[in-house]
Homo-oligomer: A and B are copies of this chain.
Amino acid sequence: MKDRDSMPEFRKDPVIGRWVIIAAERAERPSDFGKAEYQVNRGFCPFCEGNEQSTPPEILAFRKSGTAANTPGWKLRVVPNKFPALQIEGDLNRRGIGIYDQMNGIGAHEVIIETPTHGQTLIDLSPPQFEDVLLSFQLRMADLKKDTRFLYVIAFKNHGRAAGVSLEHSHSQLIALPIIPKRVAEEIRGADNHFRMKERCIFCDIIRQELETDVRIIEQNDSFIAISPFASRFPFEIWLLPKKHESHFEQISRENLTALSKILRNLLLRMNKVLDEPPYNFLIHTSPFNEEKKLSYHWHIEIIPKLSRVAGFEWGTGFYINPTSPEQATQFLKEVVLEQKAAEILPVDSP
């Protein structure tokens, strides 16, 4: 495993203003840098039931009634990341170094262990277990919101080594930040501009147009719609949005959480079928903590299968060439016949 050389820090690119976390790892040789976490299948798994002492103490768990914290008997656990990119204690201490800006790497980095069973993937979970993962996102976001140092929480899932997974045991992550990530800030700026001109939410406008043309809708139910975005950067990129305007994911009703869970699970099943179980990432884009009921911004989930055609070139230009039209992708994903999954696993108490 790795130690930290020093406290993580945020540094701001002076040209484009993007904050980056520099979280220096100690490594034996320079070629080991960045490889430290990529060790799967090493026999011992700190996320398995029975190994609760191998993680920091749990922050939240859904467990059988009567079982004690940090012991077996759980369905889902949320624990601090043992090797966090950010440090929970301390102050930001914003400062300048000549033309550069810097602050301490303060934030929270939590891991959602989605199942006690090693080898189960998110899609293998029963619908109630799947919903528990989203519920844990909601509960942790609502809690982290109370810490006034934080402005934003990103909840995300990496699946498969090519999508950035470090430990095989199925998990997702939350990072609470004192800043708004660049891509989200850009969306908010774009949405604010649209609102200023039209007094309408741009995502609501997109949903309206997609419902009218119906060429990029993959699936919908009463509350949610899943589309292939018009200007998809990646083949089979998917956006999943609430149909009615909602700005903050953590304010979702329990009824809508169930509906969201169903459609998200279906989307992953569709993707698995069409693309032969690809590695993927999904993440929640929501409104910053410091604004309540934001009229211009609409939370949503972005799902990106990580297919083989990915050139680092895109990072250097922000310029994407997508070899699959969103309409083609929609067609393939829509056509999938969803079978009922096998009986539920792990019939333990609900949280």
Contacts and interface: CB of A to CB of B under 8 A. Distances in A.
Interface of A: 5-6, 11-25, 30-31, 33-38, 85, 98-100, 154, 156, 158, 163-164, 177, 181-184, 186-187, 189-191, 194, 202-203, 205-206, 209, 212-213, 229-236, 274-276, 279-281, 283, 285, 302, 304, 306-326, 328-329, 332
Given A209-B98, A275-B30, A312-B164, A11 B317 contact: no
A312 B163 contact: yes
Binding site secondary structure of chain A: mixed
User: Which of A14, A15, A311: most chain B CB closer than 10 A?
Assistant: A15
A303 to B, nearest CB: 9
A12 B139 CA distance: 35
A164 B320 contact: no
A245 to B, nearest CB: 15
Given A18-B231, A181-B319, 17 more contacts: A14-B194, A14-B202, A14-B205, A14-B231, A16-B187, A18-B320, A19-B319, A20-B231, A24-B325, A30-B324, A33-B328, A34-B307, A158-B311, A163-B313, A164-B313, A184-B318, A306-B312
A227 B37 CA distance: 27
Contacts of A17: 190
A30 B232 contact: no
A264 to B, nearest CB: 15
B164 A11 contact: no
A33 B184 contact: no
Contacts of A232: 20, 22
12 contacts: A5-B325, A14-B206, A19-B231, A22-B326, A33-B236, A33-B323, A34-B309, A34-B324, A98-B209, A182-B317, A234-B315, A281-B311
The 5 closest A-B pairs by CB, nearest first: A164-B311, A183-B318, A182-B318, A34-B309, A181-B319
A15 B185 CA distance: 11
With a 10 A CB-CB cut-off, give which of A19, A98, A186, A323 has the most chain B CB atoms.
Answer: A323
A230 B14 contact: yes
Nearest to A200: B99
A281 B312 contact: yes
**Candidate in A11, A279, A280 with the most chain B CB atoms within 10 angstroms:** A11
Contact of A158 (B19, B313, B325): B313
Nearest to A317: B181
A25 B324 contact: yes
Given A181-B317, A181-B319, A322-B20, A30 B304 contact: no
Contacts of A14: 190, 194, 202, 205-206, 230-231
B24 A312 contact: no
Contacts of A312: 158, 163-164, 279-281, 304, 306
A209 to B, nearest CB: 5
Nearest to A33: B324
